[in-house]
């Protein structure tokens, strides 16, 4: 799955730019701007709405594979004013280009993230709008769906804890680690939606804050329907135990090589 490296190529458009994986399509020299338009795929019967998120993602059955198209949208109070517009501070700092670059780096390291296919921005004066296309994780359910089906047991929790630890020890900060952004497919855990994510020096402060965000998400979804003590016993404690084991193992391996 990680044999093919991402070969990023840039393409100028009348109102912005596109970056894409030149190995992703038959047209290795070009990525059509229409491919970022939901209407283009819906008109061909090649798209359907994706669950979760802020309503800006759709599943594509494209000629270049099964993918997810996400249009970046703001959340919270600022969305009422800015909608889907972001302040322009340079091409590399646009939401789509930054996430494409981070995913390409993580994918190249063998971490379980969706491979990036393409990103674009369209600039309008001091603002821009952005889109991202990534490969779809086939046969996956997100952790929120498992909670709703009462299937977030100790084994699932432990796999999640191990995976989060793998990312954390690699210095990968996920800006919105919640149950919707943790996917499980064939007992394998993936992390998705790395908007505003970073690679930074591993420290306990941000790592524990990441985990606290995930815990709040699970509680909000009703994972503690039998009470928090039961939730801790059957889900959170196994998750944290697996997390700490993986962190300790990584530290021991790091010490062995120094």
- Which residue in 61, 176, 195, 232 is the catalytic one? 176
Whether residue 40 is found in the same domain as residue 119: yes
Instruction: Output the domain CATH number for residue 213.
Output: 1.10.510.10
Domain count along the chain: 2
Q: What is the mean pLDDT of the chain?
A: 92
User: Does this model's pTM top 0.85?
Assistant: yes
Whether residue 123 is found in the same domain as residue 17: yes
Whether residue 107 is found in the same domain as residue 168: no
User: Over pLDDT 90: what percentage of the chain?
Assistant: 84
Active site residue 226: no
Tell me what pLDDT residue 50 has: 73
Assigned domain for 234 exists? yes
Mean pLDDT along residues 83-96: 96
Whether residue 97 is found in the same domain as residue 167: no
Assigned domain for 3 exists? no
Of 64, 77, 62, the residue nearest 27 (C-alpha): 64
Domain boundary among 102, 135, 168: 135
> Is 3 a residue whose pLDDT tops 50?
no
Tell me what pLDDT residue 29 has: 81
How far from 158 is each of 32, 152, 186, 197, CA to CA, in Å?
Answer: 42, 10, 15, 23
Q: Name the pLDDT band for 255 (thresholds 50, 70, 90).
A: confident
Q: What is the pLDDT of residues 37-83, one digit of tens each?
A: 999 999 999 998 875 544 568 999 999 999 999 999 987 776 666 78
Domain boundary among 87, 115, 135: 135
Whether residue 67 is found in the same domain as residue 128: yes
Q: Domain limits at 160?
A: 141-256
Q: What is the pLDDT of residues 180-229, one digit of tens each?
A: 999 999 989 999 999 999 999 999 999 999 999 999 999 999 999 999 99
Q: Which residues contact 143 (CB under 8 A, 6 or more apart)?
A: 152, 156, 160, 179, 180, 182, 183, 184, 218
Assigned domain for 56 exists? yes
Whether residue 64 is found in the same domain as residue 82: yes
Whether residue 89 is found in the same domain as residue 35: yes
Whether residue 18 is found in the same domain as residue 119: yes
């Amino acid at each position: 799955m990680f044999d093919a490296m991402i070969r990023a190529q840039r393409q100028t458009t009348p109102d912005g730019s596109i970056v894409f994986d030149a190995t992703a399509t038959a047209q290795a020299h070009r990525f059509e701007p229409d491919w970022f338009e939901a209407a283009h795929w819906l008109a061909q019967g090649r798209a359907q709405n994706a669950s979760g998120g802020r309503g800006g993602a759709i599943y594509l059955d494209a000629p270049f594979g099964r993918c997810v198209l996400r249009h970046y949208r703001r959340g919270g109070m600022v969305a009422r004013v800015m909608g889907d517009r972001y302040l322009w501070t340079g091409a590399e700092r646009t939401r789509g280009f930054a996430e494409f670059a981070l995913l390409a780096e993580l994918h190249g390291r063998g971490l379980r993230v969706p491979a990036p296919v393409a990103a674009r921005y369209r600039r309008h004066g001091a603002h821009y709008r952005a889109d991202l296309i990534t490969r779809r994780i086939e046969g996956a359910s997100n952790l929120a769906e498992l909670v709703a089906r009462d299937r977030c047991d100790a084994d699932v929790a432990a796999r999640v804890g191990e995976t989060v630890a793998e990312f954390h020890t690699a210095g990968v900060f996920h800006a919105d680690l919640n149950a919707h952004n943790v996917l499980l497919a064939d007992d394998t855990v993936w992390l998705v939606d790395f908007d505003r994510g970073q690679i930074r020096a591993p420290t306990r402060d941000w790592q524990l804050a990441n985990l606290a965000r995930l815990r709040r998400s699970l509680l909000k979804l009703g994972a503690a329907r039998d009470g928090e003590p039961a939730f801790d016993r059957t889900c959170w404690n196994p998750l944290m135990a697996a997390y700490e084991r993986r962190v300790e193992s990584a530290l021991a391996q790091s010490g062995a090589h120094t």
